A and B are shown apart, each in its own frame.
Chain A
Amino acid sequence: AQTVTQSQPEMSVQEAETVTLSCTYDTSESDYYLFWYKQPPSRQMILVIRQEAYKQQNATENRFSVNFQKAAKSFSLKISDSQLGDAAMYFCALFSGTYKYIFGTGTRLKVLA
Chain B
Amino acid sequence: DAGVIQSPRHEVTEMGQEVTLRCKPISGHNSLFWYRQTMMRGLELLIYFNNNVPIDDSGMPEDRFSAKMPNASFSTLKIQPSEPRDSAVYFCASSPANLGTEAFFGQGTRLTVV
B-binding residues in A (CB < 8 A): 6, 31, 33, 35, 42-45, 47, 50, 52, 91, 93, 95, 98-106
Q: Are A47 and B102 in contact (CB under 8 A)?
A: yes
A-binding residues in B (CB < 8 A): 31, 33, 35, 40-45, 48, 50, 55-56, 89, 91, 93, 95, 99-100, 102-103, 105, 107-108, 110
- Which residue of chain A is the closest to B40 with respect to CB atoms? A105
- A-B Cβ contacts below 8 A, count: 53
Q: Are B42 and A52 in contact (CB under 8 A)?
A: no
Task: Give the complex CA separation of A101 and B33 in angstroms.
Answer: 9
* Residue with the greatest number of chain A CB neighbours at <10 A, chosen from B31, B40, B43, B107: B43
Interface of B is mostly: strand
Q: Are A52 and B50 in contact (CB under 8 A)?
A: no
* Residue with the greatest number of chain B CB neighbours at <10 A, chosen from A42, A93, A103: A103
Query: How close is A97's CB to chain B, nearest CB, in angstroms?
Result: 8
* Residue with the greatest number of chain A CB neighbours at <10 A, chosen from B40, B50, B99: B99
Task: Give the complex CA separation of A47 and B100 in angstroms.
Answer: 13
With a CB–CB cut-off of 8 A, which chain B residues contact A50? 100, 102
- Which residue of chain B is the closest to A51 with respect to CB atoms? B100
> A43-B89, A43-B107, A106-B43 are known contacts. Are A100 and B48 too (CB-CB below 8 A)?
yes
Closest A-B pairs by Cβ, 6 of them = A105-B42, A45-B105, A103-B43, A33-B100, A47-B102, A106-B42
Task: Give the complex CA separation of A31 and B55 in angstroms.
Answer: 20
